[in-house]
Amino acid sequence: MKLLFVADPLESFKTYKDSTFAMMREAARRGHTLLACEPQGLRWQRGRPVTAAAREITLKRDAERWFEVEAEHAALPLKDCGAVLMRKDPPFDSEYFYATHLLSQAEREGARVFNRPAALRDHPEKLAILEFPEHIAPTLVTRSADDVRAFHAEQRDIILKPLDGMGGMGIFRVGADGLNLGSIIETLNGGGAQTLMVQRYLPEIVQGDKRVLVIAGRPVPFCLARIPQGSEIRGNLAAGGKGVAQALSDADRRIAEALGPTLAARGLLLVGLDVIGDKLTEINVTSPTCFQEIMQQTSFDVAAMFIDALEAALDAAREVPR
């Protein structure tokens, strides 16, 4: 089966930790054909299907030159692939948004896309938690500086963050003294032009910001706790956090089992839930990671679970008349 990965440039992959690479490796082991393109390679013209400028690749054992191009496809119809996997990393900017619309058109033509493009659009990764208030900490979403100040006066210790950040970018903590609150608000909301999220600070962050992976509605039995180092408040690996794999806690499993079936039913085959203590902080749907860190530390093969789920979803789709 042909699997097309819509992703960042292959040359930028860090194969020792990249989850998309782990998916590719497991798919290749099962005999699937690997193809890759970048979002800018997607194309549609009236009277023709959505196509991709794609490379067909095989994997090599060399860590530096890890793939070899077997063929170049100038205009590969997405509907001719067994599955299309949207794995472009954030930011979810206008170009990402436009790519999801091209992928939705490909779906209408018969392509099978994971995660579903409409679901990617409907679940912005920070705002998606608002649907599940029973699982989140006190949270405010606003453009108003006065709203933020009132929330701080009530909660005393808060985290402020932009809605379009990734990897811990732009996250600030303001304690009871309110030091620099005004300046931080100005930085994040641009005088009321940008919406920001404010949440009560969760001291359990010292035990880690946990990435709980959910595949086809079922939680992976291990998560990766990303533990802040030194004086840092952010656990994100990109911000220097230390990744420690551990079995799911009762709270982790309760949240995953509560959300998993609902999200899977919407076409989200793979989701990454961020959990601090027993509170949900983010729902990652664009390109959830941590496959390899969990595999390396626990021997649980996350990529195998994912490809199992992908194959099962495709088998189920073939049984349903279109």
Q: Which one of 112, 116, 161, 210 is the catalytic residue?
A: 161
33 CA to centre of own chain: 24
Q: Which one of 115, 189, 236, 284 is the catalytic residue?
A: 284
Angle at 63 between CA 92 and CA 21, to 5 degrees: 35
For the question of residue 161 being annotated catalytic, the response is yes
For the question of residue 210 being annotated catalytic, the response is no
Task: Taking the CA atoms of 236, 242, 246 and 251 in sequence, report the sign of the dihedral they define.
Answer: negative
Q: Which one of 18, 226, 236, 252 is the catalytic residue?
A: 226
For the question of residue 278 being annotated catalytic, the response is no
Phi, psi angles (nearest 5°) of residue 276:
-120, 120
Q: Which one of 88, 200, 210, 234 is the catalytic residue?
A: 234
Phi, psi angles (nearest 5°) of residue 270:
-130, 125
Q: Which one of 55, 112, 126, 279 is the catalytic residue?
A: 126
Q: Which one of 211, 236, 279, 293 is the catalytic residue?
A: 211
For the question of residue 218 being annotated catalytic, the response is no
Class of residue 40 by CB neighbours under 10 A (exposed 0-12, middle 13-18, buried 19+): exposed
For the question of residue 236 being annotated catalytic, the response is no
Q: Can you list the alpha helix ranges (DSSP code H) found in 194-301? A: 250-265, 291-298
Q: Which one of 115, 274, 279, 293 is the catalytic residue?
A: 274
For the question of residue 112 being annotated catalytic, the response is no
For the question of residue 234 being annotated catalytic, the response is yes
For the question of residue 126 being annotated catalytic, the response is yes
Tokens encoding 19: 């989850």
The span from the CA of 265 to the CA of 273, in Å, is 16
Q: Which residues are known catalytic residues?
A: 126, 161, 211, 226, 234, 274, 282, 284
